[in-house]
């Protein structure tokens, strides 16, 4: 009976390690996706022109 219990413990341990590994991969992929989205958002912000005040009219215009 003890070898059966040890075998079951080893199988259970392997299942936990496999689950933890897959969870770590999934979480890292989600974090990488969020980082890529943040970088893309920062790139799109840099393309937006800034507003400058027109000295003649006093209105703000892109430039």
pLDDT, tens only, 26-60: 999 999 999 999 888 777 776 777 888 988 888 98
For position 41, what pLDDT does the model report? 79
Distances (CA, A) of 29 to 4, 33, 36, 58: 38, 6, 10, 49
> Structure tokens of 9?
């413990």
Q: How far apart are CA 54 and CA 3, in angstroms?
A: 85
Higher pLDDT, 34 or 62: 34
For 36, the token pair is: 């890529």
Residue 4 has pLDDT above 70, yes or no: yes
**Nearest alpha carbon to residue 18 among 6, 29, 26:** 26
Please report the pLDDT score of residue 29 as a whole number: 97
The full set of domain ranges for the chain reads 7-43
Helical ranges in the chain per DSSP H: 2-46
Query: Global pTM?
Result: 0.58
């Amino acid at each position: 009976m003890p070898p059966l219990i040890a075998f079951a413990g080893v199988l259970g341990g392997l299942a936990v390690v496999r689950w933890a590994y897959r969870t770590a991969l999934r979480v890292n992929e989600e974090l990488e996706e969020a980082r890529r989205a943040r970088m893309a958002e920062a790139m799109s912000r840099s393309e937006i022109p800034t507003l400058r005040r027109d000295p003649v009219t006093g209105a703000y215009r892109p430039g």
